[in-house]
Structure 1
Amino acid sequence: MRSFIRHYLLALQFFSRVPVTGRLADWVGFSPVMLRASAAHFPGVGWLVGGSVAFLTWGLLVLLPPGPFAPLVAAALGTAWSVVMTGAFHEDGLADVADGLGGSLNRERALEIMKDSRVGAFGAIAVMLALLCKVALLALLGSISTGLMVAGAFAAHVVSRTWPLLTIRLLPHVGEAAQSKSKPLAGQISGAALAVALLWCLGALVLVISAQAAMLLIANSPSGVMACAALWLVAVVCSVLAWGWMHRWFARRLQGFTGDCLGAAQQVCEIAFYLGLALASGPLMRVLQGATL
């Protein structure tokens, strides 16, 4: 348990702006081996980030005057808070990948561009479109169901932080590892660490499915529970498909991954999760509503 907590706090320290400083940071410690072990808790970081975004979104929807624009305002402020919580860590990776792979077809040149701290046209456009997609899709979910929007905001942050670990497992680290913050992650993630990450992910999905079933009063309706589970399964499948596309892109263009690739994959998987929820919500929400009659 001591190692579990230390590795989780190290993941928070590395992948969020949650303050782990002073005596707490001294107790946690740091080593490349510890950072590699903390990869198992990347989805656990999503629990905290997604949970805080979900709580803020719910509070705004309660406090804002009712109307068609309330979900849009809540989605925009919730998305802004997620950026504050992570310090735009993943958005920065998306921008670098878009600049590198969009700016050159040559592998070495693309990697060189990705190391440049300046943001080019491809990167700026990619981040702008990503944020726009998140806000629009979350607002759409909010117009369908407040609970769906809040639960989706939570689950997406957990699920989208799970699949990039498969990239670490399946692809080699490329680039100048000595200058890379992701160098400790260059080693293949262990099967045990991957199992822990999947448990974080599964726990989030069980939580949102159970909560939605309870809110819709369909706990004793087999058809309703199945429809509820199918709704989230579609979102997960869309997220996995998005990761598969990104993984294939990295393998073909870079023959491996960098830390920026992991951040870019998280962003695309998060958007795909919202899209899956939105696509499935129409037919499946009608089933859910019918199950409560």
Structure 2
Amino acid sequence: MPRPRRSQISLEDTPYYHCCSRVVRRAFLCGDDKYTGNNYDHRRGWIESLILELTDVFAIDVAAYAVMSNHLHVVLHIDIEMVNHWSDRDVVIQWHKLFKGDVLTHKFAKGQLIESHEVVRLKHTIAIYRSRLCDISWFMRCLNEPIARQANQEDNCSGRFWEGRFKSQALLDEAAVLACMAYVDLNPIRANMAATPEQSDYTSIQQRTKAALKGEQPKALLPFIGNERANQPKGIAFSLKDYLELVDDTGRVIRDDKRGAIKASSSKILNRLNINQVNWLKLATEFGQLFHGPVGSLQELTKYCEHLQKRRRHFATSCRYFH
């Protein structure tokens, strides 16, 4: 039986989560449907645009994403400090970017007088909004529901578009985060949808590569900040250049026609994470098969399970690949 979502999310253990949604039966999110002959590539634009829009609303950052033919991946970072620093008016304004709200919240957003007997109800409503704006379940709901409605309208049908609820994995340490990001970014290459990372349309790695050519980083994605944590309060504590080189080299190795080894210049991240090349390739290509639950070193997995009172450490044997 699936565990309740609240028993899988623990911000005390990690703010990073890998989420995946898959379409039901033969429904196609994008690409060619061999049964009908229809092409759905335009739907990839729908999902990417919506992902980028939602990062401007929620206190949730996107570290990586990939839109495949019948499923999508996102690696999310919950920014609890940001949502806690938002004023009550900020929370209402953010919520109104997606939802209508009610008469009371609109009065408050416009700075109009709130009657004394309405204050308690307003405070309660704002508290609900604040909690939802840092909730990955609400993020995925706002991502999946509009896509399902658009696709069903386009297909002139009704009913379920996504396979039940989305799957989520807690990423318990920086090695798990980097391995999961690389796995997501390399999805199109493993599926022969693209030859190189920069040619992988509608993925975070393509966005990062395009921005890097201009000496920039995508504003809508969680940035790489190297080791400069003091000057940049949030971000991935690795060099963007090292990550792009690592993903590119890994992609070349897993391609049948480009067998080789990961370059020494790309091994800076692996050396820091203390992961050898063989194990890294295993993680980058088989992450989805190795882990169906929380991901991290055996020590971090044990702490996480004890904290959430989980009786079993599922897929604990796969933790050996983080060495």
- Fold in common (TM above 0.5): no
Higher strand share: 2
Bigger-Rg structure (1/2) = 2
Higher RCO (CA < 8 A, seq sep 6+): 1
Q: What's the TM-score, normalizing by structure 2?
A: 0.28
Higher helix share: 1
* TM-score after normalising by structure 1: 0.30
